[in-house]
Amino acid sequence: MSERPDLPRRAAAEAFGAFALVFAGCGAIVTDAVHPGTLGAVGVSLVFGLVIMAMVYATGHLSGAHLNPAVTLAFALTRHFPRRETLAYIAAQLLGAIAAAALLLAVWPSAPANLGTTLPSVADGSAVVYEAVMTAFLMFTIMAVATDTRAVGAGAAIAIGGTVGLDALFGGAITGASMNPARSIGPALVAGETHDLWIYVVAPIAGAALGALAYQLVRGAPAPGRRAEKRSMSAEIGPSAEAEEVG
């Protein structure tokens, strides 16, 4: 197996993936606001799911395709990612998201739909519950395909993109279905709409931690004979626990 790129290159891959997520996903929201009915809720959900699927395929072998500070922190919490590298990954994800939102603003100076900023349509407490649960679903799926050899690794991008699309379908109208602090921070900062931003930072981080720990609980300890397989498969998405143990 070829070695992974060094940290700056992996961070660049994370930035590119986060840029693609915000430019395509939030761009879809803008398009639907400017041209009503072009995509609709189902179309926007599909765009978010597809861009995540594409970026997991494109960057999974490079950086692990976290694309999400909550995912990076959950991997670090469960010792599937070196904690010393979390700051670089999160900074890259935020920079990519902000750059994409800034480019959308350059194209659409009137900032339609607040550039896709996530805003809850329910009370704050209910929004926190929705975002935490949706992110837990996402992280549970990511843990399955990234850390367990019994899962079908080749279908990781489809499973993850499908979960994002599913969450967006049932939660988009409630909270915007962010599940990702970077996805929310980028448009919020550029559009100047930060009133409820804390929800989209706190809830996804808590939900991702819950989903990761839940998967570890139900999976149990991996069989000794599967550890070598795990190292190989983990290189496709989500750096392995061994990276933390040696660092």
Q: How many C-beta neighbours within 10 Å does residue 79 have? A: 15
pTM, rounded to two decimals: 0.88
CB atoms within 10 A of CB 24: 17
The Cα–Cα gap between 191 and 183 comes to 13
Which residues have a Cβ under 8 Å from the Cβ of 106 and sit 6 or more positions away?
none
Q: What is the predicted pLDDT for the residue at 152?
A: 60
Beta strands in 78-208 (DSSP E): none
Tens of pLDDT, residues 188-238: 999 999 999 999 999 999 999 999 999 999 987 665 554 444 443 344 556
Predicted confidence at residue 148, as pLDDT, reads: 75
Domains delineated in the chain = 7-246 (1.20.1080.10)
Q: What is the pLDDT of residues 123-155, one digit of tens each?
A: 999 999 999 999 999 999 999 998 877 766 668
Q: How confident is the model at residue 5 (pLDDT cuts 50, 70, 90)?
A: confident
Q: For 17-43, how does the pLDDT look when each residue is reduced to its tens digit (9 = 90+)?
A: 999 999 999 999 999 999 998 999 999
